[in-house]
Amino acid sequence: MPTQESKKIAEMSSQVQSKPLVVESVAVVTTVTEAPPRSDRWLVRSCCCGCSLATGVWLIACMEAVSWFTGIVAGIFALVLESQKKQIDSAIENADSEDASAETSTGGAGEAPEDSMTTEEKVSQTNAAIDAFAIASPFVLAMALVGLYFACKGISASRGNVAACHSYLRWRKVCVVYAAFAMVLGMNGGPVSGFFSLLLAVYYAVVVKSHGVALEQQGANSETFVAVAGAV
Protein backbone atom coordinates (compact mmCIF):
# COMPACT_ATOMS: atom_id res chain seq x y z
CA MET A 1 0.00 0.00 0.00
CA PRO A 2 1.45 3.37 -0.92
CA THR A 3 2.08 5.57 2.04
CA GLN A 4 1.03 9.20 2.29
CA GLU A 5 4.62 10.36 1.77
CA SER A 6 4.96 8.36 -1.40
CA LYS A 7 1.69 9.90 -2.68
CA LYS A 8 3.09 13.43 -2.17
CA ILE A 9 6.29 12.56 -4.02
CA ALA A 10 4.26 11.15 -6.90
CA GLU A 11 2.12 14.31 -7.07
CA MET A 12 5.17 16.59 -7.09
CA SER A 13 6.85 14.59 -9.84
CA SER A 14 3.68 14.73 -11.95
CA GLN A 15 3.50 18.51 -11.53
CA VAL A 16 7.12 18.90 -12.58
CA GLN A 17 6.54 16.76 -15.64
CA SER A 18 3.40 18.71 -16.62
CA LYS A 19 5.19 22.11 -16.64
CA PRO A 20 7.31 22.86 -19.75
CA LEU A 21 10.95 23.65 -19.21
CA VAL A 22 11.71 27.10 -20.64
CA VAL A 23 15.27 27.95 -21.56
CA GLU A 24 16.03 31.53 -22.56
CA SER A 25 19.18 32.52 -24.33
CA VAL A 26 20.35 36.04 -25.08
CA ALA A 27 22.84 36.69 -27.81
CA VAL A 28 24.56 40.07 -27.99
CA VAL A 29 26.21 40.84 -31.26
CA THR A 30 28.40 43.92 -31.52
CA THR A 31 29.28 45.06 -34.99
CA VAL A 32 31.79 47.81 -35.66
CA THR A 33 31.34 49.38 -39.05
CA GLU A 34 34.55 50.68 -40.46
CA ALA A 35 34.30 53.80 -42.56
CA PRO A 36 35.52 53.35 -46.12
CA PRO A 37 39.03 54.61 -46.57
CA ARG A 38 39.16 58.10 -48.00
CA SER A 39 41.95 59.77 -49.81
CA ASP A 40 44.18 62.03 -47.73
CA ARG A 41 44.41 64.49 -50.60
CA TRP A 42 43.37 67.99 -49.56
CA LEU A 43 43.12 66.86 -45.93
CA VAL A 44 45.11 67.84 -42.86
CA ARG A 45 45.33 66.23 -39.43
CA SER A 46 45.68 69.43 -37.40
CA CYS A 47 45.50 73.18 -37.77
CA CYS A 48 48.58 75.21 -38.72
CA CYS A 49 49.19 76.28 -35.12
CA GLY A 50 49.35 72.65 -33.99
CA CYS A 51 45.91 72.59 -32.38
CA SER A 52 43.20 70.06 -33.18
CA LEU A 53 40.89 70.37 -36.17
CA ALA A 54 37.95 71.18 -33.91
CA THR A 55 39.89 74.01 -32.29
CA GLY A 56 41.04 75.25 -35.68
CA VAL A 57 37.47 75.38 -37.01
CA TRP A 58 36.41 77.19 -33.83
CA LEU A 59 39.15 79.80 -34.26
CA ILE A 60 38.29 80.32 -37.94
CA ALA A 61 34.60 80.74 -37.14
CA CYS A 62 35.29 83.13 -34.25
CA MET A 63 37.59 85.33 -36.33
CA GLU A 64 34.99 85.40 -39.09
CA ALA A 65 32.23 86.26 -36.62
CA VAL A 66 34.26 89.21 -35.30
CA SER A 67 34.90 90.40 -38.85
CA TRP A 68 31.24 90.23 -39.85
CA PHE A 69 30.16 91.90 -36.62
CA THR A 70 32.50 94.77 -37.50
CA GLY A 71 30.76 94.93 -40.88
CA ILE A 72 27.39 95.27 -39.14
CA VAL A 73 28.72 98.13 -37.02
CA ALA A 74 30.13 99.83 -40.15
CA GLY A 75 26.81 99.51 -41.98
CA ILE A 76 24.91 101.03 -39.07
CA PHE A 77 27.50 103.81 -38.80
CA ALA A 78 26.98 104.64 -42.49
CA LEU A 79 23.26 105.06 -41.94
CA VAL A 80 23.91 107.27 -38.92
CA LEU A 81 26.22 109.47 -41.00
CA GLU A 82 23.56 109.80 -43.69
CA SER A 83 21.05 110.97 -41.11
CA GLN A 84 23.54 113.53 -39.74
CA LYS A 85 24.71 114.88 -43.11
CA LYS A 86 23.28 118.37 -42.63
CA GLN A 87 24.95 118.73 -39.25
CA ILE A 88 28.26 117.61 -40.77
CA ASP A 89 27.91 120.18 -43.57
CA SER A 90 27.20 122.91 -41.04
CA ALA A 91 30.24 121.88 -39.00
CA ILE A 92 32.48 122.14 -42.09
CA GLU A 93 31.08 125.56 -42.99
CA ASN A 94 31.48 126.85 -39.43
CA ALA A 95 35.05 125.57 -39.22
CA ASP A 96 36.02 127.31 -42.49
CA SER A 97 34.31 130.51 -41.37
CA GLU A 98 36.18 130.51 -38.06
CA ASP A 99 39.49 129.93 -39.85
CA ALA A 100 38.83 132.81 -42.22
CA SER A 101 37.89 135.12 -39.33
CA ALA A 102 41.04 134.18 -37.43
CA GLU A 103 43.26 134.93 -40.43
CA THR A 104 41.54 138.29 -40.99
CA SER A 105 41.88 139.37 -37.35
CA THR A 106 45.59 138.51 -37.25
CA GLY A 107 46.27 140.21 -40.57
CA GLY A 108 47.60 137.01 -42.05
CA ALA A 109 45.17 136.87 -44.91
CA GLY A 110 46.89 136.37 -48.20
CA GLU A 111 46.59 134.45 -51.37
CA ALA A 112 45.17 130.98 -50.84
CA PRO A 113 47.27 128.04 -52.01
CA GLU A 114 46.43 126.73 -55.45
CA ASP A 115 45.51 123.28 -54.12
CA SER A 116 43.24 124.59 -51.34
CA MET A 117 39.58 123.63 -51.50
CA THR A 118 36.67 125.98 -51.06
CA THR A 119 34.00 125.34 -48.46
CA GLU A 120 31.55 124.26 -51.15
CA GLU A 121 34.03 121.72 -52.54
CA LYS A 122 34.68 120.29 -49.09
CA VAL A 123 30.95 119.93 -48.43
CA SER A 124 30.36 118.37 -51.87
CA GLN A 125 33.12 115.79 -51.49
CA THR A 126 32.07 114.92 -47.96
CA ASN A 127 28.46 114.44 -49.01
CA ALA A 128 29.52 112.27 -51.96
CA ALA A 129 31.51 109.99 -49.66
CA ILE A 130 28.65 109.76 -47.15
CA ASP A 131 26.15 109.00 -49.93
CA ALA A 132 28.35 106.25 -51.39
CA PHE A 133 28.82 104.73 -47.94
CA ALA A 134 25.08 104.86 -47.26
CA ILE A 135 24.23 103.26 -50.63
CA ALA A 136 26.61 100.38 -49.91
CA SER A 137 25.40 99.92 -46.33
CA PRO A 138 22.39 97.64 -47.13
CA PHE A 139 24.65 95.27 -49.08
CA VAL A 140 27.25 95.38 -46.28
CA LEU A 141 24.60 94.64 -43.66
CA ALA A 142 23.09 91.78 -45.68
CA MET A 143 26.47 90.15 -46.29
CA ALA A 144 27.45 90.63 -42.65
CA LEU A 145 24.28 88.94 -41.41
CA VAL A 146 24.75 86.00 -43.80
CA GLY A 147 28.39 85.67 -42.85
CA LEU A 148 27.56 85.83 -39.14
CA TYR A 149 24.97 83.08 -39.62
CA PHE A 150 27.52 80.76 -41.20
CA ALA A 151 30.11 81.70 -38.59
CA CYS A 152 27.68 80.40 -35.97
CA LYS A 153 27.43 77.22 -38.06
CA GLY A 154 31.19 76.94 -37.87
CA ILE A 155 31.14 77.24 -34.08
CA SER A 156 28.50 74.52 -33.95
CA ALA A 157 30.62 72.37 -36.29
CA SER A 158 33.59 72.68 -33.96
CA ARG A 159 31.44 71.08 -31.26
CA GLY A 160 30.80 67.97 -33.36
CA ASN A 161 27.71 68.89 -35.43
CA VAL A 162 28.23 67.10 -38.76
CA ALA A 163 25.35 68.85 -40.57
CA ALA A 164 26.63 72.26 -39.46
CA CYS A 165 30.12 71.30 -40.65
CA HIS A 166 28.81 70.47 -44.13
CA SER A 167 26.95 73.78 -44.24
CA TYR A 168 30.01 75.70 -43.09
CA LEU A 169 32.19 73.93 -45.68
CA ARG A 170 29.87 75.10 -48.47
CA TRP A 171 30.21 78.65 -47.17
CA ARG A 172 34.00 78.37 -47.08
CA LYS A 173 33.95 77.23 -50.72
CA VAL A 174 31.94 80.35 -51.57
CA CYS A 175 34.61 82.40 -49.80
CA VAL A 176 37.29 80.74 -51.93
CA VAL A 177 35.43 81.68 -55.13
CA TYR A 178 35.01 85.25 -53.88
CA ALA A 179 38.71 85.49 -53.00
CA ALA A 180 39.60 84.30 -56.51
CA PHE A 181 37.40 86.96 -58.14
CA ALA A 182 38.74 89.62 -55.74
CA MET A 183 42.31 88.70 -56.71
CA VAL A 184 41.53 88.94 -60.43
CA LEU A 185 39.77 92.30 -60.01
CA GLY A 186 42.42 93.67 -57.65
CA MET A 187 39.96 94.26 -54.82
CA ASN A 188 42.28 93.12 -52.04
CA GLY A 189 45.07 95.65 -52.40
CA GLY A 190 46.98 94.23 -55.33
CA PRO A 191 47.94 90.84 -56.77
CA VAL A 192 50.24 89.82 -53.88
CA SER A 193 47.68 90.60 -51.20
CA GLY A 194 44.94 89.01 -53.29
CA PHE A 195 46.95 85.83 -53.80
CA PHE A 196 47.66 85.60 -50.06
CA SER A 197 43.94 86.05 -49.32
CA LEU A 198 43.11 83.28 -51.79
CA LEU A 199 45.61 80.88 -50.21
CA LEU A 200 44.22 81.65 -46.76
CA ALA A 201 40.65 81.02 -47.93
CA VAL A 202 41.68 77.70 -49.49
CA TYR A 203 43.46 76.63 -46.32
CA TYR A 204 40.43 77.49 -44.18
CA ALA A 205 38.27 75.35 -46.47
CA VAL A 206 40.74 72.45 -46.20
CA VAL A 207 40.68 72.62 -42.39
CA VAL A 208 36.87 72.60 -42.32
CA LYS A 209 36.73 69.72 -44.83
CA SER A 210 39.24 67.70 -42.80
CA HIS A 211 37.22 68.26 -39.64
CA GLY A 212 34.07 67.10 -41.40
CA VAL A 213 35.77 63.92 -42.65
CA ALA A 214 37.08 63.24 -39.14
CA LEU A 215 33.58 63.64 -37.70
CA GLU A 216 32.10 61.27 -40.29
CA GLN A 217 34.73 58.61 -39.63
CA GLN A 218 34.29 58.96 -35.89
CA GLY A 219 30.53 58.51 -36.23
CA ALA A 220 30.85 55.52 -38.56
CA ASN A 221 33.37 53.74 -36.34
CA SER A 222 31.18 54.12 -33.24
CA GLU A 223 28.04 52.53 -34.68
CA THR A 224 27.07 49.45 -32.65
CA PHE A 225 24.18 47.12 -33.37
CA VAL A 226 22.88 44.84 -30.60
CA ALA A 227 20.68 41.89 -31.54
CA VAL A 228 18.76 40.12 -28.77
CA ALA A 229 17.25 36.71 -29.54
CA GLY A 230 15.19 34.48 -27.29
CA ALA A 231 14.79 30.75 -27.76
CA VAL A 232 12.34 28.41 -26.07
Q: Which of 12-21, 72-81, 99-108, 122-131 has the highest mean pLDDT?
A: 72-81
Determine the Cα–Cα distance for residues 112 and 197; give it in Å rounded to an integer. Answer: 45
Q: Does residue 3 sit within a domain?
A: no
Q: Does residue 89 sit within a domain?
A: yes
**Where would I find the beta strands (DSSP E) of 78-143?**
none
User: What percent of the chain clears pLDDT 90, i.e. is strictly above it?
Assistant: 42
What is the band of 113 on the pLDDT scale with cuts at 50, 70, 90?
A: low
Q: Does residue 40 sit within a domain?
A: no
Q: What is the average per-residue pLDDT within 204-213?
A: 92
**Rounded to 5 degrees, what are φ and ψ at 27?**
-115, 125
Q: Does residue 141 sit within a domain?
A: yes
Question: Between 230 and 176, whose confidence is greater?
Answer: 176
HSE of 177 in the Cβ direction (CA atoms, 13 Å)?
6
Distances (CA, A) of 182 to 92, 188, 191, 201: 36, 6, 9, 12
Put simply, whether the predicted model's pTM sits higher than 0.85 gets the answer no
Q: Does residue 5 sit within a domain?
A: no
What is the band of 146 on the pLDDT scale with cuts at 50, 70, 90?
A: very high
Residue whose C-alpha is closest to residue 156's, from 145, 167, 146, 170: 167
Residue whose C-alpha is closest to residue 226's, from 19, 31, 87, 37: 31
Confidence at residue 26, expressed as pLDDT on a 0 to 100 scale: 44
Determine the Cα–Cα distance for residues 58 and 69; give it in Å rounded to an integer. Answer: 16
Q: Are 183 and 151 in contact (CB under 8 A)?
A: no
Q: Does residue 203 sit within a domain?
A: yes
User: What percent of the chain clears pLDDT 70, i.e. is strictly above it?
Assistant: 72
Domain count along the chain: 1
Confidence at residue 150, expressed as pLDDT on a 0 to 100 scale: 96
Q: Does residue 231 sit within a domain?
A: no
**Rounded to 5 degrees, what are φ and ψ at 50?**
90, -5
pLDDT digits (tens, 9 = 90+) for 42-94: 688 887 777 889 999 999 999 999 999 999 999 999 999 999 888 988 888 88
Q: What is the average per-residue pLDDT within 134-150?
A: 93
What is the band of 29 on the pLDDT scale with cuts at 50, 70, 90?
A: very low
Separation of CA 112 from chain center: 54
Whole domain around residue 182: which residue ranges? Answer: 25-35+52-104+116-221
Q: Does residue 18 sit within a domain?
A: no
Determine the Cα–Cα distance for residues 230 and 26; give it in Å rounded to an integer. Answer: 6
Question: Between 20 and 137, whose confidence is greater?
Answer: 137
